[in-house]
A and B are shown apart, each in its own frame.
With several copies, the nearest count.
Chain A
Amino acid sequence: MKLIIAYIQPEKLTAVKQALYGKEVFKMSVTNALGCGQQKGYHETYRGADVEVNLLKKVRLEIAVNVEFVDATVDAIISAARTGKIGDGKIFIQNLEECIRIRTGEKGAEAIG
């Protein structure tokens, strides 16, 4: 099992969700995050004082999948989130040792989906 973490532009969340559903990935967790990447920030001013905003709003997806779903999941995210512009985001993949469904106590591959 793998844990896929993806940072995407907030406005792409709906499209990414649709794309994941299309690949039969229905389960995921979402948090909002602030990101510092290649995308440069912008300037705000407040009462004359300059504010450099370099932490930009991002959405963080966390998706646990069985190994055979990894490629489909990554492809789905990329296809929906890519605009070709800086700031599109990044995907990280980690190993996941165990997964347990709280309701039933099921473990592993059965529990994940």
Chain B
Amino acid sequence: MKKWKKTLLLIAGALALGAGVYAEEVAPAVTAADAMFTANNIWMMISIFLVFIMHLGFATVETGLTRAKNTVNILFKNTAIVAIGLLTYALIGFNLMYPGDFSIAGIFGFGGFGIAAPEGAAGLIDYAGGAYSYWTDFLFQGMFAATAATIVSGAVAERIKLGSFLIFSTLYIALVYPFVGSWVWGGGWLAEMNFHAGSTLVHSVGGWAALAGILLLGPRLGKYVNGKAKAIMGHNMPLLTIGVFLLWLGWFGFNGGSVLSGDPGAVSYVLVTTCMAAAAGIIGSMITTWTVQKKPDLTMVLNGCLAGLVGITAGADVVTVGAAILIGFICGVVAVLSVLGFDKLKIDDPVGATTVHLVCGVLGTLFVGVFSPDFSFLTQLIGVLAYGAVCFPAAFLIFLALKKTIGIRVSEEEELKGLDIGEHGMEAYSGFQFFTNS
């Protein structure tokens, strides 16, 4: 921030595009390509910020939909996951997801530990065709990495041991997510088949693990009594709402950044389809909950909004605006029915993560094959099945190994008292009075 040097540094900086050596006498003229590179990179950095703030969105959604006595635990998990995600992605994930060359054709490759930018100014410009810098690329992808584990966090909330969850997350983010990610984003076999899933991949990878976790943990105490689902109410609707709005905001970067450049037409089109699907998801779930439950349930409508967003993620760039509205609407309707359905099956998911991310993620990916002429339904189906076939067993095995060794579920007594006291020895809302009857 040394303003006295600014003029010099900035002319140089802007032109030299990050190269180490600054010409102080003759500044080379700015080219249009430089300016475009800068603009594109700014767009991608904005997308980083937007995807980053989704982590806060997830944290508040999950907190809002669970009980006050487990709040510290949920916030803790979501904070730790971001750190674990970024660090393991730097160490392993980035080079596992984008191996460059595959060792096992189209299936597995690893580019080595750590991250390092290509050298010199030329390297910068050459990287990704001048669309953004190496570091931007890494950080954008790194912000996605933690998301998969965050999705699990909500589904297994209020009963999972903190330590086991952190170990699971580390393994799943560091190894499974980038491994299967490389099939599409790293240019593996699914990419070669012209499978088009975009970022829904993250949702299904997270969703399958959520399902595995729920099945191995079992429902929360008191959730199913005499075969009937009982309500275990979330404790903070404003937090939930804040979270959903932040997630919607983040989705602008999640989908818009996935265009991988600031291309005005392409990006803004994606923003429009994204918003239309979210809006239609709200309307779809609102009509459904009002009809089915007599009175409109806020949590269902907010789930419906997220369902619309997940549903459009695969096809945001390739379907029409009308199709986007239809996709959002269907996902909104499905969201409500799916939450009710999972409860019928006694699959206890406190925040509806499996509904939103797995069910609507799969639906959205299939819809690409329905609503876009450029993609085949069959390929989309193969892709969906392939992810399920690897992610679900992988997550199941990790959870099972933890269950057999250190255990994955807290004691009944701790579950009753709350994980905040049990795992952290503290409370989230000191001084507030609660009526705790469960």
Contacts and interface: CB of A to CB of B under 8 A. Distances in A.
Interface string B296-308: 0101100000000
Contacts of A34: 435
Contact of B437 (A44, A48, A50, A59): A59
Given A48-B292, A57-B436, A43 B425 contact: yes
B135 to A, nearest CB: 35
B436 A46 contact: no
Contacts of A59: 437
B339 A47 contact: yes
B436 A51 contact: no
A87 to B, nearest CB: 11
B436 A32 contact: yes
A79 interface: no
A32 B435 contact: yes
Contact of B231 (A10, A14, A50, A57): A50
B175 interface: no
A32 B230 contact: no
Contacts of A48: 229, 292-293, 297, 300, 336, 339-340, 343
A95 interface: no
B73 to A, nearest CB: 14
B9 interface: no
A13 interface: yes
Contacts of B438: 10-11, 14
Contact of A49 (B229, B292, B430): B229
A39 B61 CA distance: 35
Contacts of A50: 231
Nearest to B300: A47
A13, A48, A57, most chain B CB atoms within 10 A:
A48
A51 B437 contact: no
A11 B435 contact: no
Contact of B297 (A42, A43, A47): A47
B343 A49 contact: yes
Contacts of B299: 46-47
Nearest to B336: A48
B434 interface: yes
Contact of A47 (B231, B294, B433): B231
B231 A44 contact: yes
B230 A49 contact: yes
Interface in B374-433: 416, 421, 425-427, 430, 433
Contacts of B232: 46
A11 B425 contact: no
A51 B231 contact: yes
A38 interface: no
B8 interface: no
Contacts of A94: none
A45 B421 contact: no
Contacts of A51: 230-231, 233
B253 interface: no
A107 B435 CA distance: 29
A42 B421 contact: yes
Interface in A1-45: 10-11, 13-14, 32, 34, 42-45
B295 interface: yes
A49 B300 CA distance: 12
B352 interface: yes
Contacts of B421: 42, 44
A81 B214 CA distance: 31
Nearest to B436: A10
24 contacts: A10-B437, A11-B436, A11-B437, A13-B437, A32-B433, A32-B434, A34-B435, A43-B425, A45-B293, A45-B295, A45-B297, A45-B426, A46-B297, A46-B430, A47-B297, A48-B229, A48-B336, A49-B229, A49-B231, A50-B231, A51-B230, A51-B231, A57-B434, A57-B436
Interface of A: 10-11, 13-14, 32, 34, 42-51, 57, 59
Given A11-B436, A49-B230, 19 more contacts: A10-B437, A10-B438, A11-B437, A13-B437, A44-B231, A44-B421, A45-B294, A46-B299, A47-B297, A47-B299, A47-B300, A47-B339, A48-B229, A48-B336, A49-B229, A49-B231, A50-B231, A51-B230, A51-B233
3 nearest A-B residue pairs (beta carbon): A46-B231, A49-B231, A48-B340
